[in-house]
């Protein structure tokens, strides 16, 4: 069976539900990823431990340790529990492993590794971009939507909701500004003015300030929105719900301070997309 690289890439991504096959400090390679991709494509199960137990592999690991000075325990690492559980190996062993899993994978992974190691875009940077993008998307598609929906329900319950009325717009603005205030001590207008000063150019009213939030502030903002939504659902007034949510999710010693803006999220998205294209994409067979 011959697989097009684009098909292989799609299958790997579908299995992992992640933009990357491997990324981790020390340039480790996630073995289970390719085993799962192989299973998804062929229906054949591969056990990583079977590969690790072969004499040829044990010899290769020991030789690589001698050449590089890297301890065997760092060339092969079994991590249990948490975000990165699984078996991780050094990329110098990756092509050997992929040839064992599925020979169609080997050139694909070899190209990936050479491009990756020479790109300057480190696994740690890629991981940080992925995490920030995921949190930004969670805030947009889940947490903030939950708060908006509950505010709408609150107004509807008292027959005050009218999407075309000025009063409804003002109330929603007040609610969302309250989230800004409990987290940063600033209203949106203050934040926009400070961002413009930082960038040295005007920032459109249509541009979302949250696109400039670091991941920690995005996570706090999302947690406040979701918790406030739950509080409103339980009968609290939206403003009080947000104030209570801040007490529930932020540290007891939290003092609202202006956010240190970071680069716009679109730059991280572009960087990650270019990495994916450059390292994974090969033109489909004609």
Domain identity same for 108 and 148 = no
Domain identity same for 76 and 21 = yes
Domain identity same for 129 and 262 = yes
Domain identity same for 101 and 171 = no
Domain identity same for 184 and 106 = no
Domain identity same for 135 and 256 = yes
Domain's final residue, options 103, 118, 133:
118
pTM metric for this prediction: 0.62
Q: Give the number of domains in the chain.
A: 2
Domain's final residue, options 118, 136, 151:
118
Handedness of CA 83, 88, 94, 98 (dihedral sign): negative
Cα dihedral 87→21→23→31 (10° resolution): 20
Domain identity same for 135 and 22 = no
Answer whether residue 98 is part of any domain. yes
Range of the domain at 80: 5-118
For 156-199, give the DSSP string: HHTT---TTSHHHHHHHHHHHHHHHHHHHS--HHHHHHHHHHHH
Angstrom CA distances, 54 to 50, 58, 110, stand at 7, 6, 22
Domain identity same for 138 and 204 = yes
Helix (H) or strand (E) holding 13: helix 5-16
Domain identity same for 81 and 136 = no
Domain identity same for 213 and 248 = yes
CA distance 209 to 177: 12
Q: In tens digits, what is the pLDDT along the chain, a chain of 286 residues?
A: 333 334 444 444 443 334 344 444 434 456 666 777 777 777 888 887 888 888 988 998 899 888 878 888 878 877 777 655 667 777 778 778 888 887 777 777 677 666 666 666 666 677 788 899 999 999 999 999 999 999 999 999 999 999 999 999 999 999 999 999 999 999 999 999 999 999 999 998 889 999 999 999 999 999 999 999 999 999 999 999 999 999 999 999 999 999 999 999 999 888 877 666 543 322 222 2
Nearest to 265 by CA among 133, 110, 113: 133
């Amino acid at each position: 069976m011959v697989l097009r690289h684009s098909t292989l890439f799609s299958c790997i991504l579908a299995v992992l539900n992640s933009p990357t096959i491997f990324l981790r400090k020390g340039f480790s390679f996630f073995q289970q990823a390719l085993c799962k991709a192989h299973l998804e494509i062929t229906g054949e199960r591969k056990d990583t431990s079977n590969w690790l137990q072969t004499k040829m592999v044990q010899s290769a690991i020991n030789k690589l340790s001698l050449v590089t000075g890297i301890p065997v325990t760092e060339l092969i690492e079994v991590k249990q529990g948490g975000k990165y559980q699984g078996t991780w190996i050094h990329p110098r062993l990756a092509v050997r492993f992929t040839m064992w899993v599925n020979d169609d994978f080997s050139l694909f992974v070899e190209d990936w590794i050479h491009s990756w190691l020479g790109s300057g875009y480190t696994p740690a940077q890629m991981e940080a971009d992925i995490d920030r993008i995921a949190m930004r998307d969670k805030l947009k598609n889940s947490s903030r939507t939950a708060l908006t929906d509950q505010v709408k329900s609150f107004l509807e319950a008292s027959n005050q909701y009218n999407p075309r009325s000025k009063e409804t717009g003002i109330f929603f603005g007040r609610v969302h500004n309250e989230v800004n205030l409990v987290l940063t001590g600033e209203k949106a207008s203050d934040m926009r003015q400070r961002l413009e000063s930082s960038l040295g150019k005007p920032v459109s009213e249509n541009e979302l300030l949250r696109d400039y939030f670091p991941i920690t502030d995005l996570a706090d903002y999302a947690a406040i929105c979701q918790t406030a939504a739950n509080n409103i659902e339980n009968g609290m007034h939206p403003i009080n719900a947000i104030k209570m949510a801040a007490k529930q999710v932020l540290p007891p010693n939290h003092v609202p301070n202006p956010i240190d803006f970071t680069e716009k999220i679109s730059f991280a998205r572009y960087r990650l997309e270019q990495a994916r294209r450059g390292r994974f994409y090969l033109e489909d067979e004609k």
